[in-house]
A and B are shown apart, each in its own frame.
Chain A
């Protein structure tokens, strides 16, 4: 049985949901216009992940195998609704900037994926830490992408101006923000470069003869998982 600390490290580094498994692409691309949004999205996903992992692990002997997918979806959707209301009440500005992507946490592959592959087979405590690790890994990745986009696109980090902007009227030189980075194409561009760097690291590791099989990339497996979720969700309904 994995220790709790190992589950944390596994989620944040070894199997980082974004950089390694390429899961949960929609929110990754959509909300990372700034580091703050990344934190908000990451932490709300973490909260849902921890609570749903906990509940599903508690119920794992009660839920019949044939209806497990619909049951998981209901559990996840309930927690997402709770988080949605909490955010509307306590962090209204963040709620406005994340908008429709909060309810869409329901269809984030990471959450159903962890429920299916870990929480439904393991005791409560490791499941909680598995959720926490995966959620934090997701958060770290979102902050990293958000920071890159915010610094290049607006010269800011966490909302603070770190690069002084050029002011033509005053005639002072300075940083000219590349606005496209905080618009839609910038998301694709930053992720493309990050994925290329990951590929490069993998190729180098293979050249040195190290075992790179742990680093699996590819939407192929990801989509198969998604499809699997969908397919078995469907089967549960029959």
Chain B
């Protein structure tokens, strides 16, 4: 149990997926204009990463590893993630339309989000068992949610600020991320 909490805190805060591992930067910069959409994107990422970690580690433990096909990791994982996102989208559309309306638009964006593949590969590299993989996936998703919602909140406030002309747009967002990344160093004493 203690191990699981350590993994969770480590992935969510200490080595935050966006601010210290640089995974999923594209959507982090692109979908953080409003807090509402940021929350939607964060929720969708938590959902998909948790599910993808579960499926990827099941596949690895019961098919790839026993048969000695470890070297196919990258190919298998990316295809599984692409298929999984598609199945989740169809499933939600059919059976949980309210959730689909909330997350639907963000789901296709997630296939090419390197955070999902990154977590699946990390789980294998760090030799986590299935439960640990799922916890790690969920915590990584939570870390992503925290980072993107914080950034969106700051960006909403910045709308009304007088920013030098050449720093408008992406540069000021990157500067904000710099300061957030420095702030997240504060968590490194936790573990």
A residues touching B (Cβ–Cβ < 8 Å)? 22, 25-26, 29-30, 70, 73-74, 77-78, 80-81, 84-85, 100, 103-104, 106-107, 109, 112, 180, 183-189, 191-193, 195-197, 199-200, 203, 217-220, 222-223, 226-227, 229-231, 233-234, 237-238
- Taking chain B's interface residues, is the majority helix, strand, or loop, or is none over half, making it mixed? helix
Which residues from chain B contact A26 at a C-beta distance below 8 Å? 22-26, 114
B108-130 vs A, CB cutoff 8 Å, 1 = contact: the mask equals 11111110011001100100000
Number of A-B contacts (CB under 8 A): 155
A-B contact pairs, 25 of them (CB 8 A): A22-B170, A25-B25, A26-B22, A29-B22, A29-B25, A73-B82, A77-B74, A77-B75, A84-B74, A100-B121, A100-B125, A104-B118, A188-B181, A189-B174, A189-B175, A192-B177, A192-B178, A203-B166, A219-B170, A226-B27, A227-B109, A227-B112, A230-B108, A233-B111, A234-B85
The answer to whether the Cβ of B169 comes within 8 Å of any Cβ in the partner chain is yes
Which residues from chain B contact A104 at a C-beta distance below 8 Å? 23, 114, 117-118, 121
Other-chain contact of A109, B83, B110, B112, B166 (Cβ < 8 Å): B112
Question: A73-B78, A200-B166, A230-B109 are known contacts; what are 7 more A-B pairs with Cβ within 8 Å?
Answer: A77-B78, A100-B122, A104-B118, A107-B117, A189-B178, A199-B168, A218-B170
Q: Can you name the residue of chain B whose Cβ is closest to the Cβ of A25? A: B25
* Smallest beta-carbon distance B42→chain A, Å: 16
The answer to whether the Cβ of B79 comes within 8 Å of any Cβ in the partner chain is yes
Which residues from chain A contact B165 at a C-beta distance below 8 Å? 199, 203
* Separation of A97 and B62 alpha carbons in the complex (Å): 30
With A100-B118, A104-B117, A189-B178 known as contacts, the answer to whether A85 contacts B169 (CB < 8 A) is: no
- Taking chain A's interface residues, is the majority helix, strand, or loop, or is none over half, making it mixed? helix
Interface residues of B in 1-31 (CB under 8 A from A): 19-27, 29-31
Which residues from chain B contact A80 at a C-beta distance below 8 Å? 74
* Separation of A186 and B177 alpha carbons in the complex (Å): 10
The answer to whether the Cβ of B67 comes within 8 Å of any Cβ in the partner chain is no
Interface residues of B in 154-184 (CB under 8 A from A): 165-172, 174-175, 177-179, 181-182
Q: Is the CB of A184 within 8 A of B111?
A: no
* Smallest beta-carbon distance B53→chain A, Å: 14
Other-chain contact of B26, A184, A203, A226 (Cβ < 8 Å): A226
* Separation of A80 and B79 alpha carbons in the complex (Å): 14
Which residues from chain A contact B73 at a C-beta distance below 8 Å? 103
Q: Is the CB of B26 within 8 A of A223?
A: yes
* Smallest beta-carbon distance B157→chain A, Å: 18
Q: Is the CB of B108 within 8 A of A237?
A: no
Which residues from chain A contact B95 at a C-beta distance below 8 Å? none
Other-chain contact of A70, B79, B85, B114, B177 (Cβ < 8 Å): B79
* Separation of A25 and B18 alpha carbons in the complex (Å): 11
* Separation of A87 and B17 alpha carbons in the complex (Å): 25
Which residues from chain A contact B181 at a C-beta distance below 8 Å? 184-185, 188
Q: Is the CB of A218 within 8 A of B169?
A: yes
Q: Which 8 pairs show the lowest CB-CB distances between chains A and B? A: A192-B174, A223-B30, A230-B111, A185-B181, A200-B166, A196-B171, A188-B178, A231-B108
